[in-house]
Structures are given as C-alpha cells and as structure tokens.
C-alpha cells in the first residue's frame, strides 16, 4: 500500500517581495535558510551541513555588503564632486530658465524607488508650467504604444531652452542631490512615476529590486527610442549581473551617449 508523502514544512522565510527571483542575492540567502530548515534536522551528521550553510550565508552577506559599500562610496564621491564642479552650469541654466518664461527653475515629481518607496525627484524645468495638466490631452500621440511610459518626439510642452538642456541631459543634473541622499544611485533603472508603476505587471516590478539610477543600460543604448518591454529586459539584465565594474563601464559610456544625443527628446 502506498504511503502518503509527508507534507513539506512551510518556508520560514517566504519571499518578502513578489518581484524577486531566485537569482537575486537576498532570495538566495532565504533559499539557504529554507533548505536547512527543511533538511537540517538535529542529528550529529547534520552538523557539517549546518556549518556549510552558515559559511555560505556569511559569505553571501559579506560579498553583497562589501559590494553595496563600494557602490555607495562611489556614488557619494562622484555626486559630490560633480555638484561642486558643475555649480557654474547650474547657475547659468537656472538663470536661463528664469529669464525665458519667469517660471520656477526646478520641476519636482514623486518617483518610485527601491521596493516601491516614493521620493521627491527634481529636474531643471524644461516644459511649460502646466505640462502635467496638458499631458492627458497628448496621450493619443504617445510614441511608446505600450501606454505605460510616455515619450513624444515633438512634445509641444517643451520650451526652447528646455530642448537644449534635454538634448544634453542637463535637466537631469539636480538628481545628483538624490544620489547624495541615498534615494538614487549613479547607475540603476530609471525611476518611474507612480502612475506608470500602477500599470506594471509582476515581472515589470523587478525594476524596483534595486535603487534607481541616473543612467542605465538602455540610457546608453538609445534612451527614449527603446520601447518599454525592452527597457525592462535590459534593467533585469543589469540587476542580475550588476557589479562595480559594470557600473564603471556604464558611467564611461554615458558621456558619449549624451554627446550623440540618440533618443533624447
């Protein structure tokens, strides 16, 4: 007579974030704990398995913690240096915006960061002051047909000075403050607005597993010309293979991408 298989014990560490996959480091540590809880037992022979599990868990935390420390150190040093070095540019841009239409210099938005936490997100204002109100009337002309992100090559809301600073990505420079605060990193998926995240599928939310960044793979590969599904694919590629060296490579590629201006509109 067949003996019914005993039910496996429930995982002590269910996934805290549905968007995580087993390839992400925190989930790997949880999987190690689950395996030990399921098969560890209490016999003398399991002491070796417990030691191996603890050693792997410590090694994972040490590697990931060390990598995060180096990444954060680079973020702070580079962001602080750029703010000081580019301060004259900030003043010139602020003066140009103020003199052209007398509106506010900065445009503030709420953006979604790591694990879905919202944070204040500044840009040099490149559009008319009522740009958000006009956006709903322009949705039919969206070049991104997926309907999640909005891009329009000849957006009528952009001011003439705005076209110049957007082409050179100067409008993004105030986000260096977000990097110093720790809301963003130099490299990572671009932070979406809440209305976009509300339309995300479960797989799209993988983009929120890490801190958002000033630049990313698709930013140096075509920017606004990259459709949203491919943006997600490239962001996930970055998340699954991120390293300090990859960040450095992407930062070095950012300057030529800005000069070429492909997909900047």
What does the pLDDT average to over 53-68? 67
Model pLDDT for residues 157-186, shown as the tens digit of each residue? 999 999 999 988 899 999 999 999 999 999
**What is the pLDDT, as a whole number, of residue 68?**
86
Beta-bridge partners for 123? 107
**pLDDT tens string 187-218:** 999 999 999 999 999 999 999 999 999 999 99
For the chain, give the mean pLDDT: 81
Mean pLDDT score, 233-238: 94
pLDDT confidence of residue 87: 96
Per 3-state DSSP, the chain is made up of helix, strand and coil in percentages (nearest 5) of 60, 10, 35
- Max Cα distance, the chain (Å): 88
pLDDT reported for residue 2: 46
Total-model pTM: 0.73
pLDDT in tens, 5-37: 444 444 433 433 344 344 455 555 555 556 555
Please compute the mean of the pLDDT values over residues 43-52 and round it to a whole number: 60
Query: Smallest Cα–Cα separation from 254: which of 210, 218, 207?
Result: 218
Residue whose entry in the numeric block shows the structure tokens 């990193």: 185
**Looking at the predicted structure, is the pLDDT value of residue 76 above 80?**
yes
C-alpha dihedral (171, 107, 93, 175), degrees to nearest 10: -50
Q: What is the pLDDT of residues 106-141, one digit of tens each?
A: 999 999 999 999 999 999 999 998 888 888 788 777
């Amino acid at each position: 007579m067949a003996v019914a298989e005993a039910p496996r014990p429930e995982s002590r560490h269910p996934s805290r974030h549905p968007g995580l996959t087993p390839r992400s480091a925190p989930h790997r540590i949880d999987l190690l704990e689950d395996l030990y809880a399921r098969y560890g037992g209490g016999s003398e022979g399991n002491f070796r398995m417990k030691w191996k599990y603890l050693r792997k868990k410590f090694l994972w935390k040490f590697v990931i913690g060390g990598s995060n420390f180096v990444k954060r150190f680079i973020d702070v040093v580079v962001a602080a240096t750029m703010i000081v070095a580019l301060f004259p540019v900030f003043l010139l841009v602020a003066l140009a915006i103020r003199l052209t239409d007398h509106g506010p210099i900065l445009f503030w938005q709420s953006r979604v960061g790591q694990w879905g936490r919202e944070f204040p997100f500044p840009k040099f204002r490149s559009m008319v002051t009522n740009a958000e109100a006009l956006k709903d009337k322009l949705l039919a002309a969206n070049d991104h047909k997926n309907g999640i992100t909005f891009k329009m090559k000849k957006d009528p809301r952009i001011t003439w000075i705005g076209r110049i600073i957007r082409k050179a990505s100067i409008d993004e420079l105030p986000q260096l403050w977000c990097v110093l605060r720790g809301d963003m990193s130099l490299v990572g998926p671009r932070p979406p607005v809440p209305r976009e995240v509300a339309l995300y599928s479960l797989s799209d939310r993988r983009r929120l597993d890490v801190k958002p960044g000033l630049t990313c793979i698709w930013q140096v590969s075509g920017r606004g010309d990259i459709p949203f599904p491919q943006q997600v694919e490239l962001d996930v590629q970055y998340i699954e293979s991120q390293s300090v060296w990859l960040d450095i490579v992407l930062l070095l590629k950012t300057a030529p991408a800005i000069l070429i201006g492909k997909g900047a509109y």
